[in-house]
Every structure is written in structure tokens, then in C-alpha cells.
């Protein structure tokens, strides 16, 4: 015989039988029971109910059986991955290159009277007499001084001279030359002027070198300013002796580069 207490279905059947016997006994005519029988029934009931808190409670439905399947755990939602914040890395950002300035085409005026805007001519030249050397005009002069260090000026497109009397012998005068030549030649000239101590700056979308010197012409003091300007393949040369001007180069550039 097994010493293990009844459990499971066997326990359920035993308890059901005991309940049926109790119910029948309640309807039957009561009979006096002997003391020994009553004691035995009580002992048996105590034995059945005392087989253990766990088994008895499970059989009576008071405590759930430990063998019942545990409820399936509710899957927890994974926390959402936060979206990356901050500025994109330089490698991811689109870089727009800065376009290089396009060269503009120069149109050298065809006459000295058109060298500067008409509105600027009176304040720049005043009462000075104009003598156009190039393009040649009927009955006009054609010879002018060519600096041996600037041989390309011999092929100038426009050459103008302003002076009080119209003579190249005047101490006070303004000389203008304009033309085009290979860019390499012009860059070499700019470097040469900078090496001689001229003041060179980037201006008016080009580069300008300038120098002022003072000399005596007989008893007259002469202050001469030389300006050499390059933009693309076009050059402008200005020599003004005792004829100061305000904004002459700017006016010349404005009239030559109109796009």
C-alpha cells in the first residue's frame, strides 16, 4: 500500500463520496451512533482534511494548484529609439561651391570724348584741351611717348592727352592709354611694378598699381602720379602731372566694362 496521501482526481472522488453520505444521513432517520463509530468518523475526516494544507486546500478549491500553467507574460513594448538630433556632419551636408567670378568683356571707347561718362567729363577735365592721338583723327597728332618697359603700349587702342594749351610740352597734363594684350604680359608687368615699390591693390574687379613722384621741371615743381590698371586682358595707363582728379579710374572702368 502506498503511504502517499490521495491527491488529484482520487481526492475529488473521496470528497464527493463523503458529501453524498452526509446528505443521505441528513434525510435518513437518525439513529443513535455509538461513541466509537462517531469518534472513528471524526478521526477519518480529520485525517482526510489534515493531509496537508497544500493538498487539502487545492482539493477544496481554496488555493489554486501549483501545477496550473502560469499566465503568459505580456510582452512589453520596446522603448522607441530616439531620433538623432543635432546638425548633420559636415560630410553629410551638401556643400555648394562658390562660383568664380566670370570675366567680363571690355569695350574700349572709340574716342577720347567717350572715355568717361558724359556727366563726369566736366568735373574731371574742366577746361583742359583734348588732343586725341589714337584712333588717329584728320590733322591730329599721332606720336606719343612709349615707355620702354611697357612696349605693348605702342599698340594701344585709345590714346588721349589733356593739357591747358593742347601741347605735349605743357608741364600740366594728363595722359591716358588703353589697350589689350596677353594676360601673362600684364601679370608680369604688375609684378614688376610691385617689385619697384608701387602700391598695388585689388580694386574695381581688377588690380591697380600706383606711384606718385615729385620732380622739378626748370623752376616748376611737378607732382606726377602714375596708375596702371589691369582687368582680364585689358589695361589702362594714366599719367597725370599737376592735374589731380577724383574718381578718374572708376569712371574709366565704368565706361569700359558695361556688362
Give the CA dihedral 163, 164, 168, 169, nearest 10 degrees: -140
Domains defined along the chain, listed by start = 9-59 (no CATH), 112-256 (3.40.1000)
193 vs 86, which has greater pLDDT?
193
**What is the residue-averaged pLDDT of the chain?**
76
How far is the CA of 199 from the CAs of 62, 183, 202, 237, 241, in angstroms?
109, 20, 10, 15, 18
**Total-model pTM:** 0.61
Please give the residue that has the higher pLDDT: either 118 or 9.
Answer: 118
Render pLDDT for 135-181 as a digit per residue (tens, 0 to 9): 999 988 888 889 899 999 999 999 999 999 988 889 999 999 999 99
The predicted-structure confidence for 229-245, as pLDDT tens digits, reads as follows 999 999 999 999 999 99
Amino acid at each position: 500500500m502506498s503511504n502517499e496521501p490521495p491527491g488529484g482526481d482520487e481526492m475529488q472522488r473521496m470528497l464527493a463520496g463523503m458529501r453524498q453520505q452526509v446528505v443521505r444521513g441528513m434525510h435518513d432517520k437518525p439513529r443513535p451512533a455509538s461513541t466509537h463509530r462517531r469518534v472513528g468518523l471524526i478521526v477519518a475526516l480529520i485525517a482526510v482534511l489534515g493531509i496537508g494544507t497544500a493538498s487539502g486546500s487545492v482539493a477544496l478549491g481554496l488555493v489554486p494548484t501549483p501545477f496550473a500553467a502560469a499566465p503568459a507574460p505580456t510582452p512589453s513594448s520596446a522603448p522607441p529609439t530616439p531620433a538623432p538630433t543635432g546638425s548633420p556632419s559636415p560630410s553629410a551636408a551638401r556643400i555648394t561651391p562658390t562660383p568664380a567670378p566670370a570675366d567680363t568683356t571690355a569695350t574700349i571707347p572709340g574716342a577720347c570724348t567717350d572715355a568717361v561718362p558724359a556727366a563726369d567729363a566736366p568735373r574731371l577735365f574742366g577746361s583742359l584741351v583734348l588732343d586725341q592721338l589714337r584712333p588717329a583723327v584728320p590733322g591730329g597728332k599721332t606720336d606719343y611717348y612709349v615707355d620702354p618697359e611697357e612696349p605693348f603700349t605702342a599698340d594701344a587702342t585709345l590714346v588721349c592727352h589733356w593739357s591747358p594749351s593742347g601741347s605735349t610740352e605743357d608741364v600740366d597734363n594728363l595722359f591716358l592709354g588703353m589697350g589689350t594684350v596677353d594676360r601673362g604680359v600684364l601679370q608680369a608687368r604688375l609684378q614688376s611694378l610691385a617689385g619697384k615699390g608701387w602700391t598695388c591693390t585689388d580694386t574695381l574687379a581688377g588690380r591697380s598699381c600706383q606711384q606718385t613722384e615729385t620732380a622739378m621741371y626748370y623752376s616748376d615743381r611737378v607732382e606726377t602720379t602714375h596708375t596702371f590698371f589691369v582687368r582680364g586682358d585689358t589695361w589702362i595707363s594714366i599719367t597725370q602731372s599737376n592735374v589731380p582728379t577724383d574718381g578718374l579710374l572708376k569712371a574709366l572702368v565704368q565706361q569700359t566694362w558695361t556688362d
